[in-house]
Amino acid sequence: MSGVIEQPRFSCALAAQQTVLAIPRALPIVHAGPGCSAKVFQFASYGAGYQGEGYGGGWAVSCTNSSEQEVVFGGEDKLRQLITGALQVLKSDMFVVLSGCTAGIVGDDVEQVASEFADADRPVIGAETSGFKGNSYFGHELVVKKIIGRLLDDAEPDIRPGLVNVFSVVPGQNPFWRADLEEIKRLLQAVGLGVNILFGNESAGVSEWRDIPNAQFNLVLSSWVGLETAELLREKYGTPYFHFPYVPMGAAGTSKFLRAIGDFAALPASRVEAVVAGEEKRFYGYFVALADFISESRNNLPFDLYVIADSSYAIGAADYLVNELGFAPQMIYLTDVADTRKHAAIERILLDSSPEFAGRVRFEMDGGKIQADLRARLGNSGQAAILGSTWEDALAAENNNLLVRMSLPINDDVIVTRSFAGYNGGLRLLEEIYAGVFRKGNIAQTTQTQ
């Protein structure tokens, strides 16, 4: 169903340019009107904690800048010229040609044009990402499947036991994707797996993507994004996949994840348990050290929990904060699930985590509706922790509630290596919440224990 929403928390399908840029030495070529690529960059890079241009991103993305002439006569010839020039002058291991709304409306076929460069010295892959076809999540998965279809072609698998491909957070759409993927890879390697992480600084780039068919299995670490890709790979190569439906945070959730992946991959239980024991010892050592502060400052600490984020991230955060830290869940707003057929299964994940989530899960993409509902629920409370975005700044300030930035857009913070995933991410979330008490106001002169 189409409609107008207020305060969007995602971009259009063309945001897949950030997916391409997340692959080391891969470059997008955009066939769209002037400004489309730049607006995507502003939202998914500047609006994700000012993450920068990366390799060939930002204002340097190659674009046809389609004008009235291309609207009237078509822009495929102009696109061919742009691809030819890019192959001559740009240093890249792969090009992915993306279409904007203008190209989609006039019927320019970017996939056909890209296929004309099949004999080029580097892969040129086309994907129809006209903005009106879907949002950031749709564009991301579409491009991933197109790269797999074209780059791997008829590859014959040479299975390497212990190798896993990871499909998880969406680059750019998740503001912490870089450090999250680093943490995920670290944990998987610790229990003895080889990891194709595919995106970010820990990826080997195109060579790693070519290695996808050789994996023992695929990991979908997400509520729903990546499942279509995993199904495609199972159909194409017979590769099984393991689905863990959220990004784990904190000790209990991460240990649960590691044990589950260990069982699926038939890893030595002794090794998995040794990793879990070492990580939990470190985690709870820091956790216990914080107990004095929590005890002495308890009158000033938030206890009502509101989360506004992607389902994969919101579930992990809510599970951790409610079941390990004792927060009282008030409402969990899941902002990414448009397909109502997925709602019951995703809500069940939270209900299985704790009965406290019953009646406290809402699927909503409209930021205006979220804020109206949130304002009504908050009332005059000043004891809420809101895990949201820049959109919630003013709302949190109305009654001096705490805001932790967890979802797009984030225009008033800088994100470099921040992650909330895993054991380390759980500790970082603790810091964000409890340090935020001081940002709300000076509590040093107040009596904390009365």
pLDDT tens digits, 24-59 = 999 999 999 999 999 999 999 999 999 999 999 998
Expressed as residue numbers, the domain containing 46 is 13-152
pLDDT reading at 298 higher than 90: no
Same domain, 237 and 372: no
Same domain, 35 and 107: yes
User: If pLDDT is split at 50, 70 and 90, which confidence band does 449 have?
Assistant: very low
User: Does a structural domain hold residue 48?
Assistant: yes
Q: Which of 152, 184, 212 is the last residue of a domain?
A: 152
Q: Are residues 311 and 435 in the same domain?
A: yes
pLDDT over 70 at 1, yes or no: no
Q: Are 177 and 48 part of one and the same domain?
A: no
Do 238 and 270 reside in the same domain of the chain?
yes
**Which residue do the tokens 């896993």 mark?**
164
- Asked whether the CA dihedral 101, 106, 112, 113 is positive or negative, the reply is negative
User: What percent of the chain shows pLDDT beyond 90?
Assistant: 88
* Domain presence at residue 372: yes
Do 353 and 265 share a domain, yes or no?
A: no
235 burial type by CB count under 10 A (0-12 exposed, 13-18 middle, 19+ buried): exposed
Question: CB count, 10 Å around CB of 330?
Answer: 18
> Which of 238, 262, 284 is a domain's end point?
284
- Taking the alpha carbons at both ends of the chain, their separation in whole angstroms is 53
Is the same domain home to 147 and 175?
no
Pairing of strands 361-363, 124-127: unpaired
Tell me if 373 is assigned to some domain. Answer: yes
Last residue of a domain, one of 254, 284, 314: 284
Give the total number of structural domains in the chain.
3
Q: What is the pLDDT of residue 445?
A: 43
Q: Mean pLDDT in the chain?
A: 94
Judgement on whether residues 273 and 298 belong to the same structural domain of the protein = no
pLDDT > 50? residue 278: yes
Q: What is the mean pLDDT of residues 113-123?
A: 97
* 155-194 pLDDT tens trace: 999 999 999 999 999 999 999 999 999 999 999 999 999 9
Length of the chain: 450
Give per-residue burial for 399-429: e unless 16+ CB within 10 Å, then b: eebbbbbbbbbbbeeebeebbbbbbbbbbbb
Q: Is residue 214 part of a domain?
A: yes
SS (H, E, C) the chain: CCCCCCCCCCCEHHHHHHHHHCCCCEEEEEECCCCHHHHHHHHHHHCECCCCCCCCCHHHCEECCCCHHHHHHCCHHHHHHHHHHHHHHCCCCEEEEEECHHHHHHCCCHHHHHHCCCCCCCCEEEECCCHHHCEHHHHHHHHHHHHHHHHHCCCCCCCEEEEEEEECCCECCECCHHHHHHHHHHHHHHCCCEEECCCCCCCCCHHHHHCHHHEEEEEEECCCCCHHHHHHHHHHHCCCEEEECCCCEHHHHHHHHHHHHHHHCCCCHHHHHHHHHHHHHHHHHHHHHCHHHHHHCHHHCCCEEEEEECHHHHHHHHHHHHHCCCCEEEEEEECCCCCHHHHHHHHHHHHHHCHHHCCCEEECCCHHHHHHHHHHHHCCCCCEEEEECHHHHHHHHHCCCEEEECCCCECCCCCCCCCCCHHHHHHHHHHHHHHHHHHHCCCCCCCCCC
**Whether residue 148 is found in the same domain as residue 167:** no
Structure confidence by residue, pLDDT tens digits, 58-101: 988 999 998 777 675 679 999 999 999 999 999 999 999 999 99
Mark whether 124 and 81 lie in a shared domain.
yes
Question: Torsions phi, psi of 249, nearest 5?
Answer: -135, 145
Q: Is residue 136 domain-resident? A: yes
Q: What is the CATH number of the domain that holds 333?
A: 3.40.50.1980
State the average pLDDT over residues 123-141.
Answer: 96
Q: Based on the fold, state whether residues 19 and 147 are members of the same structural domain.
A: yes
Position 2 in a domain: no
Residue 212 inside a domain? The answer is yes
**Residue 448 pLDDT more than 50?**
no
User: Residue 69 has what pLDDT?
Assistant: 75
Q: What is the pLDDT of residue 73?
A: 66
What is the number of other CB atoms lying within 10 angstroms of the CB of residue 288? 9
Distances from the Cα of 164 to the Cαs of 196, 226, 243, 290, in angstroms? 6, 14, 12, 36
Q: Are residues 298 and 425 in the same domain?
A: yes
Please, are residues 331 and 360 in contact by the beta-carbon 8 Å criterion? yes
Q: Residue 410 domain-assigned?
A: yes
Residues 220-237: what's their mean pLDDT? Answer: 97
